[in-house]
Structure formats: C-alpha cells, structure tokens
Amino acid sequence: MSDFYCEEVLSGKTAVENVMETDNVLAFHHTRPSYQSHIVVIPKRHIPSLIALGDADDALLLEMLTVVKRIARQTVEKYGACRVITNLGNYQDSMHLHWHIVPRWNGDTNFMSAIADAKVIPQSLEALCEAIHEKIGKPN
C-alpha cells in the first residue's frame, strides 16, 4: 500500500493548503474533501498507523493530538459539532498515520460514503429538498 502523505504531500509534489504546522506535525485541507470542511493532520515523519507508534513516540502523539484538539475546537465553534477519525487496517487508504477532522450536522448519516466517489450532503434530506424546490420549484 502506498504512502500518499510522504510521497506526495511531505515531498511537495502535491500542493496543500496548510491549516496549522508545528515542528513535527502538519495539518491541511484534504486534497479530495468529502465534506464542506475536511482537515487532515499528519506527522512529518513516516509512521504507518496509530497502532505502530512506540513508547518513544509519546511526545509526537501528544503534539499531534494537541493540533487535532485545536482544529477540532475551531470546527465545533464554526459548525456546532465535529468528528475526529483515524482509520486502521483494511480501511486505511494511505499507510501513514493521519487524522481526519470533519464537521457533523443534524441529520447527517454518521459515515463517509466511499461508493463511486460520492460526497456527503451537509444537511438533512428535507432541508436539501427545500433548497432544491426553492431553486427549481415544486413538482406538480
């Protein structure tokens, strides 16, 4: 499995919009967001996953979680709620430890759709239906 974050982001091959940076941690807007706000936090050195961290990595983990906490607080202030996610095993697309910070909203489906590169809508179906009717009118 590849390591997109080392091969593309940290190498500079793929440009990202930084949100926060420390000596050992980088937070940036996801390159293919699934939400209206989708921030990724990574260590600047290769670590395959959360469960690959050793005891010597405690300071790095604390530094990462401090960045995650700050961004999560900002996300909650802006959207009212958020989710902090890290994937392991078969659900880990890139073998580099990373955290996703994404907003939550009333009526969300509590999961990120991965089928056919679908995007999650940021409101309930009723609210989406109302917005569509406002734009194109109600069906007869």
What's the per-residue H, E or C state across 61-128? HHHHHHHHHHHHHHHHHHHCCEEEECCCHHHCCCCCCCEEEEECCCCCCCCCCCHHHCCCCCCCHHHH
Q: Under DSSP, is residue 52 helix (H, G, I), strand (E, B) or coil?
A: helix
Q: Which of 38, 96, 98, 100 is the catalytic position? A: 98
Say how far apart CA 39 and CA 68 lie, in whole Å: 9
Say how far apart CA 62 and CA 20 lie, in whole Å: 15
Burial bucket for residue 61 (CB in 10 Å: 0-12, 13-18, 19+): middle
Q: Is 46 a catalytic residue?
A: no
Active-site residues, by number, are 98
